[in-house]
Amino acid sequence: MKVLLDSNVWRYVANQNAGAALEQCALKSDVQLAVVPALVFEARKLKDDPVRKAILKLLAHPAWTRLMPEAFLEAQEIKTAIRRFRPDWLIPSPDLTEVNALELDWRRDDGGFWSRAYDDIAPPVTNESLRGEREHDLARQESQEIRKRVLQRKHALGSISIREVYGMPPSALLGWQGKPVEYWRVPSLYHIKTELAVYASPYREWLDSEINVAAIAASPESLTKLWYYEITPNDAPRQWVRGAFELLQAFHKVTSGNPADSQLSSHLVDVDVVVSADRNFVRFAEKCRADAPFTLAQAYLVAGGVNAVSELLALVSRLR
């Protein structure tokens, strides 16, 4: 059983120096505790040096199961869909040298991403990292716009099924038939088109060696038809979850944590259980699990503060 802890839970574990106790509890219960790069990215934003270093050392502990970044996993979904529905967009004889080296850096036990995280070695400031900060702000703005539209319709969170929510693109698209489509398809297509348009995008890092991005850019009508009408949620479950999570966030006040929660939600496909001290995150994850047309992680809430670790250890013990 794989269990993913939210960043707030890891912080409580670090604050109480309970990493060893958590490791022993997981071993006894035969539970794999998963960590994802998004947690490292969030921890690196902390200004308090001792707190940041303690959390990063805890996250990078070799006892945990390390998952690949959501950009890699989402790019894999895109590649799989293209292989099935648009094989003419594939590069016939791809050179995988560069992308294999990049993947090794994420997966290696020593000297790669996780070693740098353990030593609190921040990546250099690049155009891509600056773009990431801008996109974080833009994601908050988009969440606020979605929230305005939701409030105008006066729906309650539990009164609708996510499967019954439909959306319209912000403007006419080649290939769009003019009628509403399942909501998740609209932000998903916009997100993919935006990422593919930027050479330094992490999506492009994983796609360029095998996918002819220029061919996709030259076929906007075909891309719209693919993403709006041909693929199913099971072909791109992470895209469905991201869209659903961002929609649910719109029912509540938009905060700086919204984009990070959306990143983490992409990994609900990878694990069996997710644990958070954030009540809204758990509510959203459970709503997604109830409405999704595929299996997602079950979400559990633990108390914040001094009781967080004891509740976490009790929960992990029950999961055996």
Q: What band does 11 get if pLDDT is binned at 50, 70 and 90?
A: very high
Residue type, 249: Q
Other beta carbons within 10 Å of 21: 15
Burial class (CB in 10 A: 0-12, 13-18, 19+), 134: exposed
Other beta carbons within 10 Å of 236: 22
Number of domains in the chain: 1
Q: Are 34 and 63 in contact (CB under 8 A)?
A: no
Residue 153 pLDDT: 54
Enclosing domain of residue 269: 2-318
Alpha carbon distance 249, 160 (integer Å): 14
Residue 147 has pLDDT above 90, yes or no: no
Residue 257 pLDDT: 43
Poorest-pLDDT segment among 68-77, 159-168, 231-240, 259-268: 259-268
CA nearest 318: which of 15, 30, 93? 30
Alpha carbon distance 131, 198 (integer Å): 10
Alpha carbon distance 230, 208 (integer Å): 23
Alpha carbon distance 44, 273 (integer Å): 25
Q: Are 29 and 320 in contact (CB under 8 A)?
A: yes
Q: What is the pLDDT of residues 299-319, one digit of tens each?
A: 999 998 889 999 999 999 999
Residue 193 pLDDT: 93
Query: What does 103-170 look like in DSSP terms, one character per residue?
Result: HHHHH-SSSSHHHHHHTT-PPPP-HHHHHHHHHHHHHHHHHHHHHHHHHHHT--GGGS-GGG-EE--S
Across all residues in the chain, what is the average pLDDT? 88
Alpha carbon distance 106, 83 (integer Å): 24
Residue 17 has pLDDT above 90, yes or no: yes
Output the six-digit token pair for 222.
């075909």
Query: By percentage, how much of the chain surpasses pLDDT 70?
Result: 86
Residue 151 pLDDT: 52
Q: Is 175 helix (H, G, I), strand (E, B) or coil?
A: coil
- Strand pairing category for 181-182 and 166-167: antiparallel
The residue that leads in pLDDT, 109 or 143, is 109
Residue 149 pLDDT: 52
Cross-strand partners of 74: none
Backbone angles phi, psi at 62, to 5 degrees: -70, -10
Query: What does 21-32 look like in DSSP terms, one character per residue?
Result: HHHHHHHHHT-E
Mean pLDDT, residues 22-26 taken together: 97
Query: By percentage, how much of the chain surpasses pLDDT 90?
Result: 75
Residue 293 pLDDT: 96
Q: What is the pLDDT of residues 149-192, one digit of tens each?
A: 555 555 555 568 999 999 999 888 999 999 999 999 999 999 99
Output the six-digit token pair for 313.
């250890």
Gyration radius of the chain's alpha carbons = 20
Q: What is the pLDDT of residues 241-252, one digit of tens each?
A: 999 988 888 766
Q: Are 77 and 236 in contact (CB under 8 A)?
A: yes
Predicted TM-score (pTM) of this structure? 0.88
Would you say how long the chain is, in residues?
Answer: 320
